[in-house]
Amino acid sequence: MSFRTLLAVVLVGILVFSTIVILFALGFLREQVISTLPQHFIFSVDSAFREALFVQGVILLASSVILLGTVYVILGNWVATPLRELAKTMDAYVETGERRELSTDAFMPAEIRSLRASFTTFIDRVDGAHKHDSDISRMKSDFISTAAHQFRTPLTGIRWALEALEKENLTEEQKSLVVSAVGKSKDLVGIVGTLLDISSIESGKYHYQFAPVDMRELATEVAKDLSPVATERNVTLFFAGEEGEEARLARADRERVKWVITNLVENAIRYTPSGGSVQLSVNSAGNHVFTRVKDTGIGIPKADQANIFERFYRAGNAIQKENAGSGLGLYIARSIATDHGGDLGFEPNTPGIGTTFTLSLPAV
């Protein structure tokens, strides 16, 4: 119930009560006056008295209506209107972050002025905290970008030197050590590349080349590329589609989206025990194309599900199975999906074990 409605109900109640009291008082006054008059005067005086009382009653009732109507208008303008304006301003700030100027009125109640001042102070603090967080985030991104660029050149030089060393005449033990070092250097270069990707995403410098992409063809290509990895781990990898099936076109940057799907499939293979399976499928519904990666792996514990897309976060069971990993892949993958106007989500398989990740992209 709005303030104006509540005010109207209260004022009407007061008016009805006042009218009953006035009518009762006038009736009582008439009885008292009539009882003091001689019998032969009662009829003529009573008629005139009734008329006078009726006129007085009408005047009192009209005065009450005017007075209460005035109170309704004044209180509505001084209380309801400022409160409604404040509510709209709060809604606009919550929905869009827009700050609207609040009008001032000398007749506004002190309590409402205090409430408006508290709200202004509140959004000032929220904006200040947001600016502080943005500055900290920008500083982190700048640091990550600078550090990654500084690391990339010497790491690349180390890798080239190790690859050259591989070609030398070495003992088996020395070759084994060099091969291991080459692998580690490649991992480090990959981590540096990932850090640079994060910096580009958060600074808005991650550029995309959007074009129609056949997601069925892309998913098939990823499945083919990663088939040797799946075979090595004794995991069945396949694309659930039929030859000649209609293309599913999405508006996307092909290379970026291929990276996302590759990351999802690699994770699925990595966290699926030997003898398990990973399935890719593509379908469309409404204005989106959905690419799903379904595995029979270790799943994601409930305690970790809310944080799985956070930077540097890895679920406990994932760490136990595969110690290597930066916890950045899913963060970058979801960022790429949202930059495309889509999303990346997951859900536990029902029924059965494992997880299904779903990449949605706008259809062409």
Taking 60 as the threshold, does the pLDDT of residue 102 lie above it?
A: yes
221/311 Cα distance (integer angstroms): 28
The residue type found at 197 is D
Q: What is the per-residue pLDDT for 105? A: 67
**Neighbour order of strands in the sheet with 288-295:** 236-239, 277-285, 288-295, 355-362, 343-348
197/332 Cα distance (integer angstroms): 8
Report residue 11 as tokens.
Answer: 């004022």
130/134 Cα distance (integer angstroms): 6
Residue 212's nearest CA partner among 246, 251, 247 is 251
Q: What is the per-residue pLDDT for 166? A: 82
Strands 236-239 and 277-285, by their bridges, are parallel
Report residue 8 as tokens.
Answer: 């109207």
pLDDT band at residue 248 under the 50/70/90 scheme: confident
Q: Are 293 and 345 in contact (CB under 8 A)?
A: no
Report residue 258 as tokens.
Answer: 């291929």
Exposure on the CB side of residue 107, measured as CA atoms within 13 A: 8
Residues in contact with 325: Cβ distance below 8 Å, sequence separation at least 6, in sequence order: 314, 318, 319
Q: Are 331 and 267 in contact (CB under 8 A)?
A: no
Q: What is the per-residue pLDDT for 2? A: 61
Q: What is the per-residue pLDDT for 225? A: 93
Residues in contact with 226: Cβ distance below 8 Å, sequence separation at least 6, in sequence order: 237, 262, 265, 266, 269
Q: What is the per-residue pLDDT for 182? A: 85
What is the tens place of the pLDDT at every residue in 329-359? 898 899 899 999 999 999 888 767 899 999 9
- Return the top range by mean pLDDT from 36-50, 238-252, 278-292, 317-331: 278-292
Residue 359's nearest CA partner among 281, 269, 296 is 281
Taking 80 as the threshold, does the pLDDT of residue 310 lie above it?
A: yes
Q: Are 254 and 361 in contact (CB under 8 A)?
A: no
Q: What is the per-residue pLDDT for 78? A: 74
Q: What is the per-residue pLDDT for 168? A: 84
In the 8-state DSSP scheme, what is residue 40? G
Q: What is the per-residue pLDDT for 84? A: 80
In the 8-state DSSP scheme, what is residue 39? G
| CA angle, residues 43, 48, 50, in degrees to nearest 5 | 90
202/312 Cα distance (integer angstroms): 15
Q: Are 349 and 268 in contact (CB under 8 A)?
A: no
What is the Cα gyration radius of the chain?
38
Output 44 or 192, whichever has higher pLDDT.
192
Instruction: Tell me, rounded to whole angstroms, the distance of Cα 251 from its chain centroid.
Output: 23
pTM higher than the cut 0.85: no
pLDDT band at residue 260 under the 50/70/90 scheme: very high
What is the tens place of the pLDDT at every residue in 36-65? 666 666 566 666 666 766 777 777 778 777
Residues in contact with 313: Cβ distance below 8 Å, sequence separation at least 6, in sequence order: 304, 307, 327, 331
Taking 90 as the threshold, does the pLDDT of residue 139 lie above it?
A: no
Q: What is the per-residue pLDDT for 213? A: 94
Taking 80 as the threshold, does the pLDDT of residue 298 lie above it?
A: yes
Output 89 or 73, whichever has higher pLDDT.
89
Report residue 39 as tokens.
Answer: 């019998």
Q: What is the per-residue pLDDT for 42? A: 59
